[in-house]
Chains A and B, each alone.
Chain A
Amino acid sequence: MLYRTAGQFKTSYKADQALFPIRQDAILLGLILAFAWVILPLTASEFVFQTLMIPILIYALAAMGLNILTGYAGQLSLGTAAFMGVGAYACYKMVTLMPWMNPILAILLSGVFSAGVGVAFGIPSLRIKGFYLAIATLAAQFFLVWLFEKWAWLYNYNASGAIQVPNLDIFGIYVAGPQASSVTQYFVVLGIVSLLTLLCINLTRGNLGRTWKATRDMDIAAELIGINLMKSKLTAFAVSSYVVGVSGALFVFMWRGAAEPNLFDIPLSFRILFIAIIGGLGSILGNYLGAILIVGLPVVLGTLPAALGIPVSSAMVEHLNIMIVGSLIIFFLIIEPHGLARLWALIREKLILWPFPH
């Protein structure tokens, strides 16, 4: 009933290919954006920003970067966390070498470095495919984390070997570092994530996105219809690593505040892969749904026993969490291997047809 499409006629191809072919989608998105931009900042507490909103947005962005590579271009990567690390360290070097630099500009530029590294590690994809490529990206994962640890210039020769985010301000308002308020950081993250999401949606809808999808579905066939595989795969690596790198910079500068090399170790890569797969490969919306599930679930599980009055130690809760996340991954893969985004697509289809079955 809410999703009735009666009366919405398309009279040109342009209208049919528009970002929102159905008016209700646009309204729904508008409501969500209004909620995120206006209502949440007015009502939510520090806790909600720090444990839910900011990490969800950052993880969703990282998963979106991975999704462009794996979901759209079909190149499985297990090195996401290392590319996030490249973004974070690049951003750190930029703001410490050039303190006058606008921090938001620094964050957006840091993705360029990880895009470069991503292309370098993407070159093997021209010859290696499937799981072999996945293991090859692990080379990037282990090599880069090792480099973060050993190359002292990267962390300005700190004795601790970790990077600390300094206080950074734009026009007198602190956006990063210990003095920044959560709401400001939330707005910065939301702004950058919204911008990059729009970019990704339009890239994947356009010419480039179509070449990626053709490469994913069958690369030899794509080559035969005239797609330059090298260009297609390497642009996928570049765009994906750019987005992942920016998310890495946000991860450290807007959320964690400090980072050690082992933060970018392989469990983080897997976490982002879970988000992308549970959300749905080859979908932009899925990244958000997946991130809400993976970030939100431990928070809910952590507060649940206390709310129900069951005495459980915090270590126990953590272990139970891992177990439940593991089983949920299997559960979701079994009920809907194409992810939460497909689930939403099915619901939406039913809503459009409702009350008729077909």
Chain B
Amino acid sequence: MLNEIFIKPFVDMVEAPDFLLQVLWEGLVSGILYALIALGFVLIFRSSRIFNFAQGIMVVFAALTLVGLYAMGVPAWICVLLTLGVMFILAVAIERIVLRPLVGQPDIILFMATIGITLFLIGLGEIIFGGENKVMITEELGIPTGDTVLEPWDGLLILQHLDITVVVVATLLVIGLLAFLNYTQMGRAIRALGDDHQAALSVGISLQTVWVLVWFIAGIIALVTGIAWGARAGVSFALEVIAYKALPVLMLGGLESITGAIIGGLMIGILEKLFEIYWGQPLLGGNTETWFAFVLALIVLLFRPQGLFGERIIERV
């Protein structure tokens, strides 16, 4: 038993390094997607202290809108623009109808409101687009679909072009976002609001504009995630569960930290794949991916209650 837990997995890893690389690569790709969703959470949490549970359904909704519009005969690239428009309208509507009347309420009330938004969007999406699984319009958007086979150490390593594209696009998106937050006026306003609402308001930053903007950025991230994940697994409401995967990422990285979201996402993506392949499937009957990330985050949190990169919690009485 001890041998199977502590020695055999590592022997397996060393004996088949190409397979290990394959596992690491797949972990990296899903980790990047987790990091993207977590980024949407972090942006909204930083600027408004709202724990946005609706991020997952926004991913589904964006992907559904894109596919639905294409099915109506709209050219693919115009679909993307129109979907962005829909996400913008959604951001404005959420800010106007839901958030504005709830300003200043306790955190849990705002959290519940985002669950309300989630339910509303699930119902709306099902009515407009139907609940069946749809195929993402990967080729129409010009995303390559082939694969490259590498042969390190006489082994086999398959890299899907789709995954490579996802990694490149996600990296560019993150760099762009960081640049936006650090070097533009609007970005600074978002960060200022995150630090102190009242101070930011007193120097003339508009809360409403920033909130709409932040929800719109979260919408863009949702669209990118939706395209990437939809191309791998099809577009359906089951996509919503990947939002749960972003939660342990947030715990691990810290609710306020953008770096934390990225590093946490990569860590969880890779570690949960490794655990599933080398420990979960042989020893525990598989499907450990549903809980591994949470338990990992829980253990980390026992030692660092604010996550790895979160702001230090200072308590005052």
Q: Which A residues have a C-beta under 8 Å from some C-beta of B?
A: 70, 76, 124, 127-132, 134-136, 138-139, 142-143, 145-146, 149-150, 218, 220-221, 224, 266, 270, 273-274, 277, 281, 315-316, 319-330, 333-334, 337
Contact check, A322 vs B126: say whether CB atoms are below 8 A apart: yes
* Contacting residue for A323 out of B98, B124, B291, CB 8 A: B124
Known: A320-B127, A325-B119. 18 other contacts (CB 8 A): A131-B51, A132-B305, A138-B248, A143-B294, A146-B287, A150-B285, A221-B317, A316-B127, A319-B123, A322-B123, A323-B120, A326-B116, A329-B115, A329-B119, A330-B120, A334-B101, A337-B106, A337-B109
Contact bitstring B231-275, A, C-beta under 8 A = 1, else 0: 000000000000010011011000100000000000000000000
Looking at the assembled complex, report how far the CB atom of A240 sits from the nearest CB atom of chain B, in whole angstroms.
Answer: 16
The interface residues of chain A lying within 8 Å CB-to-CB of B97 are 330
Contact bitstring B78-111, A, C-beta under 8 A = 1, else 0: 0000000000000000000110011001111101
Contact check, A124 vs B301: say whether CB atoms are below 8 A apart: yes
Contact check, B123 vs A326: say whether CB atoms are below 8 A apart: yes
The interface residues of chain B lying within 8 Å CB-to-CB of A337 are 102, 105-106, 109
The interface residues of chain B lying within 8 Å CB-to-CB of A143 are 291, 294-295
What is the CA–CA distance of A141 and B121 in the complex, to the nearest angstrom? 24
The interface residues of chain A lying within 8 Å CB-to-CB of B307 are 132
The interface residues of chain A lying within 8 Å CB-to-CB of B113 are 329-330, 333
Residue of B nearest to A278 (CB): B112
The interface residues of chain A lying within 8 Å CB-to-CB of B115 are 270, 273-274, 329
Q: State which residues 287-315 of B face A: CB under 8 Å.
A: 287-288, 290-291, 294-295, 297-298, 301-302, 305-307, 313, 315
The interface residues of chain B lying within 8 Å CB-to-CB of A76 are 108
Known contacts A132-B307, A270-B115; decide if A333 and B109 are in contact (CB<8 Å): yes
Residue of A nearest to B254 (CB): A132
What is the CA–CA distance of A326 and B121 in the complex, to the nearest angstrom? 8
What is the CA–CA distance of A277 and B288 in the complex, to the nearest angstrom? 32
Max chain A CB contacts within 10 Å: which of B105, B123, B124, B255?
Answer: B123
Q: State which residues 156-172 of B face A: CB under 8 Å.
A: none
The interface residues of chain B lying within 8 Å CB-to-CB of A134 are 51
* A-B contact number at CB 8 A: 133
The yes or no answer to B284 lying at the interface (CB within 8 A) is yes
What is the CA–CA distance of A128 and B300 in the complex, to the nearest angstrom? 11
Residue of A nearest to B251 (CB): A135
What is the CA–CA distance of A330 and B112 in the complex, to the nearest angstrom? 8
Contact check, B305 vs A329: say whether CB atoms are below 8 A apart: no
Contact check, A128 vs B317: say whether CB atoms are below 8 A apart: no
Number of interface residues of B (CB under 8 A): 50
Contact check, B117 vs A326: say whether CB atoms are below 8 A apart: yes
The interface residues of chain A lying within 8 Å CB-to-CB of B127 are 316, 319-320, 323
Looking at the assembled complex, report how far the CB atom of B92 sits from the nearest CB atom of chain A, in whole angstroms.
Answer: 16
What is the CA–CA distance of A330 and B244 in the complex, to the nearest angstrom? 21
Looking at the assembled complex, report how far the CB atom of B13 sits from the nearest CB atom of chain A, in whole angstroms.
Answer: 24
Looking at the assembled complex, report how far the CB atom of A314 sits from the nearest CB atom of chain B, in whole angstroms.
Answer: 13
28 contacts between A and B (CB under 8 A): A70-B108, A76-B108, A128-B301, A129-B305, A131-B51, A132-B255, A132-B301, A132-B306, A134-B51, A135-B247, A135-B294, A138-B244, A138-B247, A143-B294, A149-B287, A266-B244, A270-B115, A273-B112, A274-B112, A316-B127, A320-B123, A321-B123, A322-B120, A323-B127, A326-B122, A329-B112, A329-B116, A333-B113
Contact check, B119 vs A136: say whether CB atoms are below 8 A apart: no
Residue of A nearest to B121 (CB): A326
What is the CA–CA distance of A129 and B290 in the complex, to the nearest angstrom? 23
Looking at the assembled complex, report how far the CB atom of B37 sits from the nearest CB atom of chain A, in whole angstroms.
Answer: 14
What is the CA–CA distance of A330 and B291 in the complex, to the nearest angstrom? 30
Contact check, B298 vs A139: say whether CB atoms are below 8 A apart: yes
Residue of A nearest to B288 (CB): A146
Looking at the assembled complex, report how far the CB atom of B117 sits from the nearest CB atom of chain A, in whole angstroms.
Answer: 7
The interface residues of chain A lying within 8 Å CB-to-CB of B48 are none
What is the CA–CA distance of A212 and B118 in the complex, to the nearest angstrom? 31
Residue of A nearest to B296 (CB): A139
Contact check, A218 vs B317: say whether CB atoms are below 8 A apart: yes
The interface residues of chain A lying within 8 Å CB-to-CB of B119 are 322-323, 325-326, 329
